[in-house]
Structure 1
């Protein structure tokens, strides 16, 4: 993707180093090295570009999307050294060397670190309602660089005006409503993977102490049945044409109803699920 600024405006500031330091404090160098070893991509030779620095570089690119790779890399090294000292060694950087290093690093280590961070995140005040952790499921798409491997893996979205300019990733995330922190994410191709299919892959992350919200496009009889089977409590919007007759009025103004897989099941009063 094109960048319009090659350097940090005004040079690196203390706040920039603090931003890198904050990343390092929340995702420690020890954790990064463990993830690199687990994924089999840790630095083996002293002359190699440090893989642990590359990990923080990938994180920092999200903070400085319009700054040249070399500038961000130097900022990351200096910021890490302010915390870890000589544990972080210098490296000769160029755009080509960084690109090659990222290719060798791969994506698995970033996925591993994300999973570790999400699992370690403590619950905070405001997360809960009536004892349940309030979460939300939603999906979106992201453009990725227009490269052959991305096109083959994810594909191009199709519209009324033809094919999109960039390949796109489709993703569905389970997010904490209070903090908007993403706790679990499933990704796929925009052409081959539906939001419903990706959402099903999130179901193992639905414990019984969770209240999960979702928009109306996620509801379907089979989807609802399988989500309920996880033990989590569900609060999902539904389309206005869904038949929900009032069967048992409740004191708070809500009522109980029953959903069925088909009109035939409704007529025979079978395979129904009670909903409020």
Structure 2
């Protein structure tokens, strides 16, 4: 089966009218673009078809505790000319993944994410604006010389090199559906801000993007704001910020004028010498917090802006779901070569988006917010059903399996989130570096 047949099997082809009414199908032009990604599109008979290689990469993200060979067995993945009872050689699976490469997985993730994250539901907007968040996360890779050279590792004053090479990922996420619109993946030596700047053209009009204070950059803010229509941003004030108050709008609401650094203007000569930002100051547990934003005073109230910034933590919850639920806290990726690390990463992000998107549609069908569905519950539901479907329909292709899941996930039980218990923070005792005997007796 060719890559063209692979993508055709994902769903029947129909056109879509706009981003908000994406029909869950893959248009023909996507297929034509995918065909240019690899010169290794054809496989000889008795090799693992690329449709099943794609399904295998997704399965690796859904069944992190299982070996790759066991994932293939669970999902009834077999080579052409072999029955499902005949096991695939470990070397055959590795070679099939190498032939597929990482580019098709990256392209498919980014193309689907661009449309899925822009799907809009009744309760999703904030005062008519879509809400997104940008933040970074790191993953460990196996400790091999090639991966260490490519990705690099962390260091500090005492440890010159961390135990594992580190991969850096910066994601752009819809804070309501938790679907990742886009992501940039690179080595640990690459800073987060340049990776974030590479995604700014994906942010839609009439939106607001929430950022962590580490992304403070005049170039990033101006590019985001001036690259479209009503593209706003919201970010905490840095402790060393220098400004002058231009106008007071009210208590805790003012217009500040800030100077653009010579370094930033040298990097981008189009930046102005100074820029005006709105500063909203509010109180959290007796401490004053200030956020800076491009939202105009005339249209958006200060108290609502203060509440809006709390949504930035939604992207942290998304990263937690990937690491704790999908990877089961095994944050070291399993692939051993650079290209397969990227392939595994794009496959994991695509699998995460599949779960999030289906949960969003299930929530909308019940008149609820997508955030009211527990990710682990949806993830477990999908993973368990894939095994049943693979056993019942071993001949079905990737797209048919996903289509069957979409028809059943609307029955997903909507578990309401419980209120977080209010307990005082405690400092845990640090672990000793000396072994502790099982027969040790605690002293009172």
* Structural mapping, 1:1-276, within 5 Å: 28=10, 34=31, 37-40=35-38, 41-77=40-76, 90=84, 92-121=87-116, 122-159=119-156, 160-191=158-189, 193-231=190-228, 232-251=231-250, 253-262=252-261, 271-276=273-278
Partners in 2 of 1:133 and 1:152 — Cα distance? 40
CA contact (8 A) 1:134 1:210 kept: yes
Superposed displacement of residue 253, structure 1:
4.4
User: How well do the aligned residues superpose, as a CA RMSD in angstroms?
Assistant: 2.9
CA contact (8 A) 1:217 1:238 kept: no
Partners in 2 of 1:37 and 1:241 — Cα distance? 50
Deviations for 1:40-69, whole angstroms, at most 9, x for unmatched residues?
A: 343432221111111111111112111122
CA contact (8 A) 1:146 1:166 kept: yes
Q: Secondary structure at the match of 2:181?
A: strand
1:113 and 1:262, CA in 2 relative to 1: closer, same or farther beyond 3 A?
closer
Query: Which has more strand, going by share of residues?
Result: 1
Deviations for 1:202-258, whole angstroms, at most 9, x for unmatched residues?
A: 121123222001011111233323332223201111212313443222257411111
1:251 and 1:238, CA in 2 relative to 1: closer, same or farther beyond 3 A?
closer
The answer for the alignment partner of 2:288 in structure 1 is none
Q: Secondary structure at the match of 1:140?
A: strand
Q: Secondary structure at the match of 1:65?
A: coil
Give the TM-score taking structure 1 as reference length. 0.75
CA contact (8 A) 2:136 2:169 kept: yes
Structure 2, unpaired ranges of 5+: 1-5, 13-25, 263-271, 279-444
Structure 1, unpaired ranges of 5+: 1-23, 81-85, 264-269
CA contact (8 A) 2:244 2:258 kept: no
Partners in 2 of 1:162 and 1:274 — Cα distance? 41
Partners in 1 of 2:43 and 2:35 — Cα distance? 10
Superposed displacement of residue 128, structure 1:
1.5
Give the aligned length: 236
Superposed displacement of residue 39, structure 1:
2.5
CA contact (8 A) 1:60 1:72 kept: yes
Q: Secondary structure at the match of 1:166?
A: coil
Partners in 2 of 1:89 and 1:37 — Cα distance? 29
Give the TM-score taking structure 2 as reference length. 0.48
